[in-house]
Structure 1
């Protein structure tokens, strides 16, 4: 799986966290979710964490794999 890139985050004065991808906002986290995100981003690869939290980690052949005969039920 290719490593995601281009994500960044900013901690706002009100305690919320804004995650951006390129120049566009990809998500805003507030309260307990923002605290959990900040704890997780410190311990792991920040790019992977931000991709996971924004839902931007599903790229590639998910649709092809879902339609493959061995994966059908």
Structure 2
């Protein structure tokens, strides 16, 4: 699985945390969620933590699932 990259986060003065991915806002966290995120990002790999919190990460099986006969478009017999 490729390592996530391109994430940054910014602490705002009002207690908000804004997570961006390649310059676009991916998530805005407030209150307890922002505090939990900051504790986790400081303890672990920041890129992986931000990818997990935003849901912007790959599981590694997307290509396999895309090529499965059930998921191919146009090859469904109509009867």
Partner of 1:71: none
The structure with the larger Rg is 2
Q: Deviations over 1:12-71 (max 9, x none)?
A: 000000000011000000000000000000000000000000001125424735x97xxx
Unaligned runs of at least 5 residues, structure 1: 69-73
TM-score of the pair, normalised by structure 2: 0.76
Moved more, 19-28 or 53-62: 53-62
Unaligned runs of at least 5 residues, structure 2: 69-79
Q: Which contiguous aligned blocks of 4+ residues in structure 1 show a shift greater than 4 angstroms?
A: none
Aligned residues: 68
TM-score of the pair, normalised by structure 1: 0.82
Q: CA RMSD in A?
A: 2.0
